[in-house]
Amino acid sequence: MAEKYNICLDVGGTKVLGAIFNSKDEIIYRLKKRSKSGGSASADVEKVIIDVVEEMIRESGIDRNDLKAIASCAPGVIDQEKGIVLFCPNLPWKDYDIAGTMRKQFGVPFFVGNDVNMGVLGEYHFGAARGYRNIVGFFVGTGMGGGLVLNGELYTGHMFKGAEYGHMILDPEGPLCNCGQRGCLEAFSSKQGMSAYIRQQAARGRTTLMADAVTEGVFRSKRLVKALEAEDAVAEEAVDRACHWLAVATGNMINTFSPDLVIYGGGVIEALGDLFLKKILSEVDRYCLPQIRSTVELKCASLGDDSILYGGLAMIKGLK
């Protein structure tokens, strides 16, 4: 009997990452391509997604008839049952039937979920969150996503719209967020939030190694790492500001859910997780009740770029 394969995708604001899993849940091939999210969904991001899947099938040498299913994330509000992206603040998608498009293109079952829901699900079943029952996840990337596991099951809320606490408002008079509100956690602590702060400081005449990196959108994490190594003051301030508001948000979530674990993932954490965690730990106790904080662990995700990919695999396998 021929081996069957699953393809899982991580679709972000600036890239599409894909992986092929064999029947032993092992990644046998992976591919990453940058995406441009400034145009229409069909002309830009959708084409990159299809290209990534087609190239992986072609270059890996698997038979397309042996493809079992495809799973993908999207950074936004998803109707998971129908496979429709209802709203995506960092991609040009609104009421977009991604499932219909992909099923028509590849002829196999297609699953789609919120990116951080899938990242937390991946860590819960395959990574650093195994063995915990109540988990709050913050994923720091181009945007800021949230994911919850409550009493051992992924919590998605009414009509799969829950856990969007990247858009909890921390300062109603704060910076404008892509969602249209002001002062969201995302507007402070994501790559977009940090990029906006760096652009603001550069416009005031301050010198920073990050000036070119944020001229056209968000920076790459490697550029931020280099700036911090060079003790760039503006970059350091952007990180301190991001970690401060992450600590505030973490305290709020600890008080609300009394989780046994708060986990941090995403591209920024993969590049700077130890630094971010150290700064968050230095502040978080100020923003939650000691009696609740005492039973909560805080740590970084362990699967790195693969958290969401493994979450997609969990969805295909029907794991909650």
- At 97-130, the pLDDT tens digits run 999 999 999 999 999 999 889 999 999 999 999 9
User: In which domain, by residue range, is 76 found?
Assistant: 5-119+306-316
In this structure, are 154 and 193 located in the same domain?
yes
- At 65-100, the pLDDT tens digits run 999 999 999 888 899 889 999 988 767 788 989 999
In this structure, are 143 and 199 located in the same domain?
yes
Of 159, 168, 208, whose CA–CA distance to 189 is shortest? 168
Question: Is residue 125 included in any domain, yes or no?
Answer: no
Question: Is residue 257 included in any domain, yes or no?
Answer: yes
Packing angle, helices 115-126 and 307-316, rounded to 10: 80
Q: What is the pLDDT of residue 10?
A: 92
Q: Between 53 and 15, where is the model more confident?
A: 53
Q: What is the pLDDT of residue 36?
A: 62
Question: Is residue 258 included in any domain, yes or no?
Answer: yes
Question: How many structural domains is the chain composed of?
Answer: 2
In this structure, are 105 and 222 located in the same domain?
no
In this structure, are 276 and 295 located in the same domain?
yes
User: Environment class of residue 115 by beta-carbon count within 10 Å: exposed (0-12), middle (13-18) or buried (19+)?
Assistant: buried
Place of tokens 């999210």: 37
- At 27-51, the pLDDT tens digits run 999 999 887 654 444 457 788 899 9
The reported pTM is 0.90
CB 94 within 8 A of CB 282: no
Of 196, 203, 168, whose CA–CA distance to 183 is shortest? 168
Q: Give the CATH number for residue 13.
A: 3.30.420.40
